[in-house]
Chains A and B, each alone.
Chain A
């Protein structure tokens, strides 16, 4: 699977929007963009995924650049419970027959009250 690049850490104020960037300049046409997050002392949990179009769900929004070489996870109003490590992962469902997740270092989001 293609690699992703994320900032090591970001800070946000509570109740403000947060934009978490991810660069994936070597993305292929069959790569889906997935986001997982890991709260302290817990396993990762799924947040959102997309292919080409922007996506919204109850947890977050995913904005995908037109050339698909970057994406942004948007938390519309950060809460203290959103403090976590956020992972941007590319999953190729053609070549990745096992659909395994390849995690990078992720972005540690700190939320200040």
Chain B
């Protein structure tokens, strides 16, 4: 079974530029998550989709970050304009609630490492 695919793996941009990250979840997984992981910290949830609807975006800085999941499969996370503090790894995860509600394993991609100069 293929895992969660993310691209690009690395991106370097200058502040005030725009950037987009792409995620392809595991086939059949209805729930998709985007996390931000700053160096030395644990991942922090930015947004969660159930199919193509947003479940939770309370921690997404909506003045500069946007995300969409058209057709309930692939997802794109965009930053416009980027700030220095956006330098981080952006992780995508998916789940399908298999194994019962108590388990609900999230499967993560390898992430995109963003450096804002």
Contacts and interface: CB of A to CB of B under 8 A. Distances in A.
| A and B pair up | yes
Interface of A: 32, 36, 41-46, 49, 51, 85, 87, 91, 93, 97-106
Contact of A44 (B43, B44, B101, B104): B43
What's the interface size class on B, roughly?
20 to 34
Interface stretch (B11-19, B75-83, B105-113): B105-113
Contacts of B55: 97-98
Interface of B: 4, 31, 33, 40-45, 48, 55-56, 91, 93, 95, 97, 101-111
Contacts of A49: 102-103
B109 A100 contact: no
Q: Is the interface of A mostly helix, strand, loop or mixed?
A: loop
A60 B91 CA distance: 25
B21 to A, nearest CB: 13
B26 to A, nearest CB: 12
A98 B48 contact: yes
B102 A93 contact: yes
Contacts of A45: 107-108
A106 to B, nearest CB: 6
Contacts of B91: 43-44
Report, nearest first, the 10 A-B pairs whose CB atoms are least far apart.
A43-B108, A103-B42, A46-B105, A98-B55, A99-B104, A98-B56, A100-B45, A43-B91, A103-B43, A44-B108
Contacts of A103: 42-44
A24 to B, nearest CB: 15
Contacts of B42: 85, 87, 103-106
Given A101-B106, A103-B43, 20 more contacts: A32-B102, A41-B110, A42-B108, A43-B4, A43-B91, A44-B43, A44-B93, A46-B107, A49-B102, A87-B42, A91-B104, A93-B102, A97-B55, A98-B55, A99-B95, A99-B101, A99-B104, A100-B56, A101-B33, A103-B44
